[in-house]
Amino acid sequence: MDAIQITLPDGASREMPRGTTAAQVAAQISPRLAKEALVARVDGGLIDLSQPLDRDVKLSILTAKDPEAVQVFRHSAAHLLAAAVLELYPNVKLGIGPPIENGFFYEFVREAPFTPEDLEKIEAKMHELASRDIPNERKLIPKAEALELYRKSNQEFKCELVEEKAEEPMVSFYTTGKFVDFCRGPHIPSTGRIKAFKLMNVAGAYWKGDEKNQQMQRIYGACFVEQKQLDEYLRRLEEAKRRDHRRVGKELELFAVSDLVGAGLPLWLPKGATVRRQLEEYILEREREAGYQHVYTPDLAKVDLYKRSGHWEHYHEDMFPPMELEHEELVLRPMNCPHHILIYKSKRHSYRELPVRLAELGTMYRYERSGVLSGLSRVRCMTLNDAHIFCTPDQIKEEFSGVMRLVERAYRDLGITQYSYRLSLRDPANTEKYVAGDEMWALAERVLREALDSLGLPYKEAPGEAAFYGPKLDIQLSDVMGHEETYSTIQIDFHLPNQFDLSYIGADGREHRPVMIHRGVISTMERMTSYLIELYGGAFPTWLAPVQAVILPITERQNEYAATVRQEVFSAGIRVELDDRNEKLQAKIRDAQLQKIPYMLVVGGKEAEAGTVSVRHRSRGDLGPKPMAQFLADLRQEVDSRALDTPASAAK
Ligand SMILES: [Zn+2]
Ligand SMILES: [Zn+2]
């Protein structure tokens, strides 16, 4: 027999007839694997289970446990969507249809917009096609024939793709019943297993992402192999929507955007400004404790400054264009480092003064494309909790540890628990992308590792993720949907001290070059506020809450007593409001709950007589009457200790 050797991941080798398929191998291994198999991997690449094997190979059968196989599954779901749309609307033109995170999309050109009712119909049609378990079949056809096929059916975008991407002479196509798609594949064997999906929305998109091209409609779908995964995803999505900082920010009057001011330039409303002020005061206090000196520097500078720093060369596409003024070119700063460097340089430093730690809530401007701007999380004007530490190489480790302690402390106080550390290192295979000598890099990488190890912090290493001027530690926070983004960062920099010829006088009386550490502890005020809004769904811990207590007189007769209570609470340094509207108590309580105010102080005739307040907490409910002095002492203690009142802990 004409046999080939098939080596499985466990190392076992099987002799099979040439032309055996991965599906047949799976069936030999176990009926269960045959049932669960989605796609196969041979020698590193993915292939259809039905593709005959014609040589000795290393073969793995992939199931839903493998993320790559799940993406193949989603890609097949995208084809199913296109097949359903073509059945219902035969004249649509097709763009591309790839898998994406949590699902898939397909692009169509159709004159009428797809409505929510259309999506329902399409979804039903997809279920119908899926239940017929139609095979996904791969075909190779000559390129000329492929073009002819698409020309005849007026699929001009597909023609374009075949022209550009297809390699002569044969082109790979997949069919799902009547639907034919130019596609590299692979796909799952048939439509039958595609059950757990939901069409989510339609969004406009330009062909190939280029604004000059035809506008298309993208239908997005969520898709998982198992129904319970889809259910869980949709539940988290609902939760994320409920906590979306843009929505909560509006409901709680935290910030607003105005067309007249411009996109990405949010306005902080009084309540949002109060939260921000708390954050700012909090971090300034931590920094003072840690030996930082605070400075103020202007939001703009001459272009020359950024030419010197190298930002102009490496970064000017992310900057606002310069403005000309009395023969000078000025630009809004995209970062604060050069200003701080010039403060360091404004006097001579001896090694005894190092480290010099300069900090500022520095406002900066970055050109973000209008398409990515969002609420407070992606903006064009932002204020960073920034600092630059100038130190000797020997001091890097201690300074780095100091920043780490600051980060850990801040996260603890803010109630942030979902985060991880990423040590971003130089790509050892590609060192010419980076500045400075091997010795400095080796030193910096070593001290970063040592510092992390001595703090006992788990981290993952990411070679190739370093800044061009030095290695860095990124601290990534995850949101409700599990997406990670860098909020805090500590970067070691050998480059800027050279660019600006920085020095200090060493113990030997000679000039030496300091090392610079860039660090941001709680990110920009905009992003951290957006994160905290979503973390708490607007119910900030009392110390951060814009209004910490509201006084609710039961009738107008208690307004006078309520006013004295308000004054007393205010004098204790608590942010307090008085709700003396002529409304029923129930309505006042409901409004205070909606505003997520931690404490409601109900005052009626009894309280006025006894000099007490009846305390109600937004999540713990009725706490009964308390003498004013005791209530205020408890509240002060809660605020001063920055106690966290997460919905979870309150529910216990
Ligand atoms: Zn495809
Ligand atoms: Zn910097």
How remote is the CA of residue 518 from the centroid of ligand 2, in Å? Answer: 5
- Give the model's pLDDT for residue 442: 86
- Give the model's pLDDT for residue 440: 81
Which of 155-159, 322-326, 481-485, 526-530 has the lowest average pLDDT? 481-485
Q: Are 604 and 506 within one domain? A: no
Question: Which ligand is closest to the CA of 472, given by its number?
Answer: 2
How remote is the CA of residue 77 from the centroid of ligand 1, in Å? Answer: 9
* For helices 270-289 and 396-414, angle between their N-to-C axes, nearest 10 degrees: 140
Cis before residue 17, ω within 30 degrees of 0?
no
Q: Please give the residue range of the domain that contains residue 27.
A: 3-63
350 within domain boundaries: yes
428 within domain boundaries: yes
Q: Are 143 and 43 within one domain? A: no
Q: What are phi and psi of 522, to 5 degrees?
A: -115, 30
| DSSP letter assigned to residue 374 | B
Q: What is the mean pLDDT of residues 452-465?
A: 88
| Run of H or E including 577 | strand 576-578
How remote is the CA of residue 101 from the centroid of ligand 1, in Å? Answer: 16
Question: What is the Cα–Cα distance from 313 to 223, expressed in whole angstroms?
Answer: 43
| DSSP letter assigned to residue 435 | -
Q: Are 510 and 432 within one domain? A: yes
Q: Are 530 and 484 within one domain? A: yes
- Give the model's pLDDT for residue 649: 39
Question: Which ligand is closest to the CA of 336, given by its number?
Answer: 2
Report which of residues 451 and 626 the model is more confident about. Answer: 626
Question: Which ligand is closest to the CA of 187, given by its number?
Answer: 1
551 burial type by CB count under 10 A (0-12 exposed, 13-18 middle, 19+ buried): buried
Question: Which ligand is closest to the CA of 96, given by its number?
Answer: 1
Using the predicted structure, report yes or no on whether residue 292 has a pLDDT greater than 90.
yes
How remote is the CA of residue 493 from the centroid of ligand 1, in Å? Answer: 45
- Give the model's pLDDT for residue 1: 61
Q: What confidence tier does 20 reach under pLDDT thresholds 50, 70, 90?
A: very high
- Choosing from 483, 511, 536, the residue where a domain stops is 536
- Choosing from 63, 94, 115, the residue where a domain stops is 63
Q: Are 172 and 281 within one domain? A: no
CATH number (domain holding residue 349)? 3.30.930.10
Question: Which ligand is closest to the CA of 469, given by its number?
Answer: 2
Question: How many domains are contained in the chain?
Answer: 4
Question: What is the Cα–Cα distance from 521 to 449, expressed in whole angstroms?
Answer: 19
- Choosing from 174, 207, 240, the residue where a domain stops is 240
Question: Which ligand is closest to the CA of 76, given by its number?
Answer: 1
Q: Are 377 and 427 within one domain? A: yes
SS3 of residue 442 by DSSP: helix
How remote is the CA of residue 72 from the centroid of ligand 1, in Å? Answer: 9
Using the predicted structure, report yes or no on whether residue 283 has a pLDDT greater than 60.
yes
245 within domain boundaries: no
CATH number (domain holding residue 37)? 3.10.20.30
Residue 614 contacts residue 586 (beta carbons within 8 Å): no
- Model confidence over 66-87: pLDDT tens digits? 999 999 999 999 999 999 999 9
Q: What is the sign, positive or negative, of the torsion defined by CA atoms of 537, 538, 543, 549?
A: negative
328 within domain boundaries: no
Q: What is the mean pLDDT of residues 533-539?
A: 95
CATH number (domain holding residue 583)? 3.40.50.800
Q: Are 416 and 274 within one domain? A: yes
How remote is the CA of residue 648 from the centroid of ligand 1, in Å? Answer: 44
Q: What confidence tier does 647 reach under pLDDT thresholds 50, 70, 90?
A: very low
365 within domain boundaries: yes
Q: Are 265 and 374 within one domain? A: yes
Using the predicted structure, report yes or no on whether residue 648 has a pLDDT greater than 50.
no
Q: What confidence tier does 436 reach under pLDDT thresholds 50, 70, 90?
A: low
The strand ranges marked E within 278-380 are 293-294, 300-302, 323-325, 328-332, 356-365
Instruction: Kindly report the pTM of this predicted structure.
Output: 0.82
| DSSP letter assigned to residue 437 | -
State what percent of residues in the chain have pLDDT above 70. 98
How remote is the CA of residue 128 from the centroid of ligand 1, in Å? Answer: 20
542 within domain boundaries: no
How remote is the CA of residue 165 from the centroid of ligand 1, in Å? Answer: 13
How remote is the CA of residue 296 from the centroid of ligand 2, in Å? Answer: 15
304 within domain boundaries: no
- Model confidence over 342-369: pLDDT tens digits? 999 999 999 999 999 999 999 999 999 9
Question: Which ligand is closest to the CA of 519, given by its number?
Answer: 2
Question: Which ligand is closest to the CA of 99, given by its number?
Answer: 1
Q: Are 556 and 622 within one domain? A: yes
Angle at 229 between CA 225 and CA 234, to 5 degrees: 120
- Give the model's pLDDT for residue 651: 35
Q: Are 231 and 356 within one domain? A: no
Q: Are 532 and 553 within one domain? A: no
458 within domain boundaries: yes
How remote is the CA of residue 294 from the centroid of ligand 2, in Å? Answer: 15
Q: Are 128 and 24 within one domain? A: no
Q: What is the average pLDDT value for the chain, to the nearest integer?
A: 92
